[in-house]
């Protein structure tokens, strides 16, 4: 059985306390690895290593830090197949998705910020002929990055790449549920010779490792992606210490389909936005609103496409839907299907445990599920399920569907399907959402700000916003 290790001060280490957590494979429900059950002592060791490394790393020219990020990217690329297989086994997602999406985008994160840091500039303002003002941006020091289990390496690299690029040293907590690609990343960093302490990875549970990071007086900022409940706890603990916070949290995103849409494109993309990664993406659109003249046709076609999705062994070619990440999450998702029935919902397709024979017979598979007949305000349509469960509802007017789309505590993303350009601009501007896609979904430009409003979070990641987050501005005013 493989043992994942922490990466602290350039060394691969077990937890100081010697305890381990079992890590099962979602597709089989069998334990195949163990993860360090780290605690505050391990976080302290990582912070000390990062603090020792910080002066030299901060003084390293941006062009040289850029080269280090490229070395890491190249190291991942040279082992892409191993990373993809590890991600698939760890998460339960299809190997085809890990190979073509998760790992390539992780590589791109390092490469993008390697470029960005060499192009980053600050501001200068001349105050008439009286003074010259300019802004310096200095790295914060030791920063904390906490990433989730659904896109493990992709979202971990999304945080640590800009932090390292700007001269910070990082203490990161990968999800204990999906630790394997973070462990492989540590091995790549050792192989390329990244200076010890620049990046530190501490595995373990949130109440132990995450809490210790949030409380630590020498961690200047926390970048977190995960549940709203955990984000609120981090904010509660970190705010009195005046840490900088970026919190990207949950979503219950609307997908609004007007009758004048491109039917084929809207249908194909709605299928993807409902069930990609088994619905375990904060950007999925599980609330599908279809304008009434199109509703019956769209529903019938979507049910047919959903039934055609192949649930199977994540490592086999042709699998569309893999396993859910854990027994706990499996139980939660099926619990919401039961709740939907209690709330008056009808299961159009799916709604049960999926049977996958062979080695995956005991795995945590759920049939892609489409529900109908639910009120927009019911719990099923208000609470984040984070699984392959979507509901479809008809609407009549733009104002009606706008009210329904905005009537949740979340505000992360939304999709709008219409060929009316005026409506597209008008409707998108009125949505309470940090991200709005029109006639597309998950089309990401890494230069644009990413994040939500309301209970979906505070702060923005991506592009210049990420680089600015990991720096402290200082204004210099010189009298002329």
Q: What confidence tens digit (pLDDT) does each residue in 18-42 have?
A: 999 999 999 999 999 999 999 999 9
What whole-number distance in Å separates Cα of residue 14 and Cα of residue 37?
Answer: 8
Other residues' Cβ atoms within 10 Å of the Cβ of residue 453: 15
The pLDDT, as a whole number, for residue 122 is 86
Residue 273 has pLDDT above 90, yes or no: yes
pLDDT at 174 over 90: yes
449 belongs to a structural domain: no
Q: Kindly state whether residues 243 and 261 are assigned to the same domain.
A: no
* This model's pTM is above 0.85: yes
The enclosing domain of 366 has a CATH number of: 3.40.309.10
Confidence of residue 129 (pLDDT cuts 50, 70, 90): confident
Which candidate, 429, 373, 367, 374, places its Cα nearest to that of 398? Answer: 429
Residue 1's pLDDT band (cuts 50, 70, 90): confident
Please indicate, yes or no, whether residues 109 and 191 belong to a single structural domain of this protein.
Answer: yes
Whether 443 is covered by a domain: the verdict is no
Say yes or no: 174 and 261 in one domain. no
Asked if residue 108 belongs to a domain, the reply is yes
232 plus 324 within the same structural domain? no
| Number of domains comprising the chain | 2
Q: Give residues with Cβ within 8 angstroms of 413, minimum separation 6.
A: 251, 253, 282, 283, 285, 433, 434, 435, 436, 437, 452
Active site residue 248: yes
Residue 271 shares a structural domain with residue 245:
no
Express as a percent the part of the chain with pLDDT over 90. 97
446 within a domain of the structure (yes/no): no
Domain check: are 167 and 283 in the same one? Answer: no
Whether pLDDT at 97 is above 90:
yes
Please calculate the CA angle 143-469-198 and round it to the nearest 5 degrees: 30
* Whether 465 and 352 share a structural domain: no
**Whole-number Å distance between alpha carbons of 193 and 211:** 30
**The dihedral formed by the CA atoms of 280, 154, 3 and 326, expressed in degrees to the nearest 10:** 0
DSSP summary character for residue 328: H
| pLDDT value of residue 133 | 94
Asked if 233 and 299 sit in the same domain, the reply is: no
366 forms beta bridges with: 353
- Are both 264 and 396 inside the same structural domain? yes
Calculate the dihedral angle through the C-alpha atoms of 55, 56, 62, 64, rounding to the nearest 10 degrees. -170
Cβ-contact 251, 412 below 8 angstroms: yes
Q: Which single residue is written with the structure tokens 């698939």?
A: 88
CATH number of 35's domain = 3.40.605.10
Task: Check residue 457 and give left, alpha or beta (phi > 0: left; psi -120 to 50: alpha).
Answer: left
Mean pLDDT of 188-213: 98
Q: Which of 98-107, 341-350, 374-383, 443-452 has the lowest mean pLDDT?
A: 443-452
Q: Are the C-beta atoms of residues 313 and 359 closer than 8 Å to each other?
A: yes
Determine, yes or no, domain membership for 445: no
Q: Is residue 147 part of a domain?
A: yes
Task: Identify the domain containing residue 156 by its residue range.
Answer: 2-249+454-479
Locus of tokens 């501001």: 123
Pairing of strands 124-127, 131-139: antiparallel
Residue 186 placed within a domain: yes
Q: Are residues 386 and 346 in the same domain?
A: yes
- pLDDT for 125 equals 87
Find the catalytic residue in 111, 248, 384, 461: 248
| Alpha carbons 76 and 315: distance in angstroms, whole number | 20
178 and 66 in a single domain? The answer is: yes
pLDDT of residue 398: 98
Same domain (yes/no): 205, 330? no
Residue 317 phi/psi, 5° resolution? -65, 145
Question: What are the CA-CA distances from residue 176 to residues 80, 181, 264, 457 (Å)?
Answer: 22, 11, 40, 22
């Amino acid at each position: 059985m493989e043992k994942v290790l922490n990466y602290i001060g350039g060394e691969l280490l077990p937890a100081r306390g010697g305890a381990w957590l079992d890590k099962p494979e979602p597709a089989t429900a069998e334990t195949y690895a163990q993860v360090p059950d780290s605690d505050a002592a391990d976080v302290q060791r990582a912070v000390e290593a990062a603090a020792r490394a910080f002066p030299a790393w901060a003084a390293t020219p941006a062009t040289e830090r850029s080269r280090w990020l490229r070395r890491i990217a190249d190291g991942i690329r040279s082992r892409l197949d191993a990373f993809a297989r590890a991600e698939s086994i760890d998460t339960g997602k299809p190997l085809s998705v890990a190979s073509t999406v998760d790992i390539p985008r992780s590589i791109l994160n390092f490469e993008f910020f390697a470029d960005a840091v060499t192009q980053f500039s600050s501001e200068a303002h001349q105050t008439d002929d009286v003074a010259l003002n300019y802004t310096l941006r200095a790295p914060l020091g030791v920063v904390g990055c906490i990433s989730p289990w659904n896109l493990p390496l992709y979202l971990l690299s999304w945080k640590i790449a800009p932090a390292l690029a700007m001269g910070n040293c990082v203490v990161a907590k990968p999800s204990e549920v999906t630790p394997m690609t973070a462990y492989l990343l540590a091995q790549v960093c050792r192989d390329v010779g990244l200076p010890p302490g620049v990046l530190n990875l501490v595995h373990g549970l949130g109440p132990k490792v995450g809490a210790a990071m949030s409380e630590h007086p020498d961690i200047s900022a926390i970048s977190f992606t995960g549940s709203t409940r955990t984000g609120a706890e981090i904010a509660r603990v970190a705010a009195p210490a005046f840490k900088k916070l970026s919190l990207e949290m949950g979503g219950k995103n609307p997908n609004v389909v007007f009758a004048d849409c491109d039917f084929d494109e809207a249908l194909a993309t709605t299928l993807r936005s409902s069930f990609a990664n088994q619905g375990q993406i904060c950007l999925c659109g599980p609330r599908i609103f279809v304008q009434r003249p199109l509703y019956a046709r769209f529903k019938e076609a979507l049910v047919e496409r959903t039934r055609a999705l192949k649930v199977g062994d994540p490592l086999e070619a042709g699998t569309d839907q893999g396993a859910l990440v854990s027994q706990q999450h499996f139980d939660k998702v099926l619990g919401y299907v039961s709740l939907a029935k209690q709330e008056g919902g009808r299961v159009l397709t799916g709604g049960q445990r999926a049977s996958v024979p062979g080695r995956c017979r005991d795995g945590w598979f759920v049939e892609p599920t489409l529900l109908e007949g639910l009120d927009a305000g019911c719990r099923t349509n208000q609470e984040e399920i984070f699984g392959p469960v979507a509901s479809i509802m008809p609407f009549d007017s733009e104002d009606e569907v706008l009210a329904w789309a905005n009537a949740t505590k979340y505000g992360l993303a939304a999709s709008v399907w219409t060929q009316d350009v005026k409506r597209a601009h008008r409707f998108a501007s009125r949505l309470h959402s940090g991200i709005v896609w029109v006639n597309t979904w998950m089309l990401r430009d890494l230069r644009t700000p990413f994040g939500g409003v309301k209970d979906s979070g505070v702060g923005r990641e991506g592009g210049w916003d990420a680089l600015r987050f990991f720096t402290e501005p200082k204004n210099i005013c010189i009298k002329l």
